[in-house]
């Protein structure tokens, strides 16, 4: 089964998020529990969770994903930022559990003035402060593009983090197509080879969610700029260097079967996105 959807807003609670997802003909979706740039959050009781679940059940929406905010930096050498990351990620895990989501995606973090080894150890330390035997959702480390000092742009880095986490049965990976392409993996011409490498280093049992994004840059650019799927030079947001065929291949690949596939492609304007069109094209719907 292909589970495909997009990022949607939760500003009106889970019920509004589910209704927005349905408007794109999705059968899954992803939310931030609030603005991704800050820690302001509604109380769990204000998220209209019961109504959302009822709507989801009646419209075949399931297996939703939560994304932690960008301000969570578990690799930071600054104690106040590190402690905020631990506290807030713990609170986000509670909200993810309340929403009934099985996954919360987090960017591993950036070590800035330190080095990679420090960043890996710091992230593992942070996760060891957050995870215990009662943790319900998987915490998914996202594959990154390699810009700046961010950790997680090579599979080996993710594996090193996972190996240092005590309760690493609670850890998984979110495979972002733009990030992985930008970091240098050839998902266009050799996706099977990339997946085999992932399996050897991390293990396919850890691969839980895909973010489906085109890239505005050639392979290995380490830029992290998302493009609409298969966009050509006429798209106002720019050309996609990954291309429709490569993303379509991933969507229909055995490794993506039954996993949430989430679009984070750019909005064309403040009021227009291409989620519905991209979802139908990637599903292979012949009547669209």
253 marked as binding residue: no
Helix (H, G, I), strand (E, B) or coil at 43: coil
Q: Among candidates 13, 109, 104, 97, which has minimal Cα distance to 54? A: 13
Determine contact, residues 65/32, Cβ cutoff 8 Å: no
Q: Among candidates 99, 81, 271, 278, which has minimal Cα distance to 177? A: 278
Neighbours of 120 (CB within 10 A): 24
Structure tokens at 128: 């060891």
132 marked as binding residue: no
Neighbours of 81 (CB within 10 A): 17
181 marked as binding residue: no
Please report, for residues 81, 123, 204, 213, 234, the alpha-carbon distance to residue 266 in angstroms, rounded to integers and kept in the order given: 29, 29, 29, 9, 15
107 marked as binding residue: yes
- Residue carrying structure tokens 């089964």: 1
179 marked as binding residue: yes
Structure tokens at 195: 């997946």
Structure tokens at 152: 């997680």
| Distance of alpha carbon 64 from alpha carbon 47, whole angstroms | 15
Determine contact, residues 61/26, Cβ cutoff 8 Å: yes
94 marked as binding residue: no
7 marked as binding residue: no
Annotated binding site: 67, 107, 142, 176, 179, 211, 224, 226, 264
Annotated binding site for Zn(2+): 67, 107, 142, 176, 179, 211, 224, 226, 264
């Amino acid at each position: 089964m292909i589970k495909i959807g997009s990022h949607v807003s939760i500003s009106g609670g889970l019920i509004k998020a589910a209704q927005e997802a349905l408007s794109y003909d999705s059968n899954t979706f992803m939310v931030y529990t609030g603005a991704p740039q800050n820690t302001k959050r509604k109380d769990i009781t204000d998220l209209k969770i019961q109504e959302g679940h009822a709507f989801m059940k009646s419209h075949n929406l399931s297996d939703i994903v939560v994304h932690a905010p960008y301000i969570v930096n578990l690799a930071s050498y600054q104690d106040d930022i590190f402690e905020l990351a631990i506290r807030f990620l713990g609170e986000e895990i509670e909200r993810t559990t309340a929403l009934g989501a099985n996954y919360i995606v987090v960017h591993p973090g950036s070590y800035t003035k330190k080095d990679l080894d420090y960043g890996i150890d710091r992230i593992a330390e942070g996760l060891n402060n957050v995870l215990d035997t009662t943790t319900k959702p998987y915490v998914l480390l996202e594959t990154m593009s390699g810009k700046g000092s961010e950790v997680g742009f090579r599979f080996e880095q993710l594996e090193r983090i996972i190996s240092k986490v005590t309760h690493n049965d609670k850890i998984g990976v979110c495979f972002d197509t733009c990030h992985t392409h930008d970091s240098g993996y050839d998902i266009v011409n050799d996706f099977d080879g990339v997946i085999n490498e992932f399996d050897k280093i991390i293990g396919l049992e850890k691969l839980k969610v895909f973010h489906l994004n085109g890239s505005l840059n050639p392979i290995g650019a380490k830029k992290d700029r998302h493009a609409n799927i298969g966009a050509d030079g006429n798209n106002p947001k720019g050309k996609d260097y990954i291309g429709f065929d490569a993303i379509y291949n991933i969507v229909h690949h055995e490794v993506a079967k039954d996993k949430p596939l989430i679009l984070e492609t750019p909005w064309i304007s403040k009021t227009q996105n291409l989620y519905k069109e991209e979802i139908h094209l990637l599903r292979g719907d012949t009547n669209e």
